[in-house]
């Protein structure tokens, strides 16, 4: 479950697409070029990021470099321009933040019963202990001892959820939760 093969294939497809778009970038304005990059490159990068996002740091860094290249092609920036202002201008989340976003949305859907109970269950501290604490509404994070264990969805999901601000976690509708979550991630 290293996802090396999947990320290799994705990088090859996206790099080829971006090189082609970069070659004809002068024919399009920035808005059109951004739309093309989002449609042809980012859609491939973000596809199943909830699954391959549990890959190791080396693989995630490769995908981040690919997204950086995509943002530079979309804006028409030079090779050595710093990418952080470009990503902020495009309001694109970095790969790690995008995975955090996807995991948070999945946990929200689990807690709000978008999925059947037999598929996913997450317990709160209040459901497992009879003691009143400040963390009574936090999710229980299973104990693991390995780096691989920390990347598993059943561990990573509750950990990410517990780190979100309370005003984001308490949203009741999915669109408002997504809006507040993205704003929180972009402003951190």
pLDDT digits (tens, 9 = 90+) for 170-184: 999 999 999 999 999
Mean per-residue pLDDT for 113-139?
Answer: 74
pTM to 2 decimal places: 0.87
Question: Which positions ≥6 away from 109 have C-beta within 8 Å?
Answer: 115, 174
Q: Which domain holds residue 29?
A: 4-92
Task: Assess whether pLDDT exceeds 90 at residue 124.
Answer: no
Same domain, 103 and 176: yes
Look at residues 114, 111, 104 and name the one whose alpha carbon lies nearest to residue 179: 104
Write down which residue in 23, 57, 92 finishes a domain. Answer: 92
The proportion of the chain whose per-residue pLDDT surpasses 70, expressed as a percent, equals 93
Task: Report residue 58 as tokens.
Answer: 């080396």
Residue written as tokens 């808005």? Answer: 31
Number of domains in the chain: 2
Same domain, 52 and 112: no
Write down which residue in 50, 74, 92 finishes a domain. Answer: 92
Same domain, 123 and 66: no
pLDDT of residue 1: 60
Helix (H, G, I), strand (E, B) or coil at 76: coil
Residue written as tokens 């984001």? Answer: 168
H-assigned helices in the chain: 4-23, 30-37, 43-46, 49-52, 57-75, 84-90, 95-111, 125-128, 147-151, 153-163, 166-169, 174-187
pLDDT of residue 135: 67
Same domain, 49 and 27: yes
């Amino acid at each position: 479950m290293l996802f090396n093969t999947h990320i290799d294939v994705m990088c090859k497809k996206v790099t080829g697409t971006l090189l082609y778009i970069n070659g004809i970038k002068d024919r399009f304005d920035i808005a059109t070029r951004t739309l093309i990059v989002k449609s042809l490159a980012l859609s491939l990068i973000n596809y199943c990021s909830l699954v391959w996002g549990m890959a190791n740091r080396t693989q995630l860094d490769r995908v981040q470099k690919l997204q950086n290249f995509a943002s530079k092609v979309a804006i028409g920036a030079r090779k050595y321009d710093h990418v952080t202002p470009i990503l902020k201008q495009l309001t694109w989340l970095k790969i790690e933040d995008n995975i955090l976003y996807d995991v948070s949305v999945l946990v929200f859907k689990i807690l709000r019963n978008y999925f059947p109970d037999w598929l996913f269950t997450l317990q709160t501290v209040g459901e497992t202990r009879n003691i009143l604490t400040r963390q009574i509404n936090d999710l229980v994070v299973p104990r693991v001892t390995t780096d691989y264990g920390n990347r598993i969805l059943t561990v990573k999901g509750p950990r990410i959820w517990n780190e979100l601000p309370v005003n984001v976690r308490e949203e009741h509708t999915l669109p408002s939760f997504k809006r507040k979550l993205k704003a929180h991630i972009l402003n951190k």
